[in-house]
Amino acid sequence: MLRRLSCCVLFLLPVCQLLAQSCTTPKDSSQAAFWQQQRQFPRVRAAEANTGPVVANRLHTKVLDPNRLEIFIRMIKTSAEVEVWARNQNGGPFELLHSYPLSAKSGSLGPKRRAGDYQVPEGFYEIDRFNPNSNFHLSLGLNYPNTADRALGEPDPGGDIFIHGGAASIGCLPITDAGIEEVYLLAVMARAAGQTVIPVHIFPFPLTEPELAKHLNSPHQAFWRGLMPGYAYFEKQHEVMEPVQLTAK
């Protein structure tokens, strides 16, 4: 139904109704059940009330339909921002929806290799957990350590890396409570619209030859060059490279 409504009419809907409609025409009952399950939690309901209007306005501005939403998350450490890119399903390349400044940082440039090293991971990940009862308001878990991390890291590479609220980090990506409310709602909408894999790419800096030349003495040069194809592909196409092609050695 939303596809037949004009953007003006869509924007005039009460925000709670707009967000709710992302589960009224699901592709299957499991997607509708996901929204229903998330709305059982007080913090998710509060996020809809608190930041739902902001999210609705961002989607309206980019002519994005909650029922067809896909998102991609990227973080470049030197920029200290979590970028959320979005598009409608089958709607062409991703566009930058909004950037959320980190509220705290930890570690340095380079991948995470062991538990307790305070490093933020680098590489190609995806959201694998929605935590509506986080110690840091709301949080989205990354599938760290992935296969590459297990192969290249130490016997205990650590885990529990999240995008979350608050302003503290020991290897996670905090973006304030207000920031995580927006990103959490967007991720819930995308999942309910049928996006089973929400990719998250994390890079140390823009992976270009001039930037790499500034770090010639780094022991991570080979690892970073392994990430370059995924970075360059998105920069050129605004599409995410297929997972089978995203390997870092």
What are the residue numbers of the active site?
164, 172
Three-class SS of residue 134?
strand
CA quadruple 165, 168, 170, 174: dihedral sign = positive
Question: Nearest 10 degrees: CA dihedral of 14, 15, 20, 24?
Answer: 50
Distance CA 57, CA 190 (A): 16
* 181 in Cβ contact with 165 (< 8 Å): yes
Find where tokens 């970073």 sit: 224
Residue 86 β-bridge partners: 71, 95
Structure token digits, residue 127: 């959201």
Residue 123 β-bridge partners: 202
Three-class SS of residue 116?
coil
* 47 in Cβ contact with 164 (< 8 Å): no
Query: Whose CA is closest to 139, among 44, 33, 19?
Result: 44
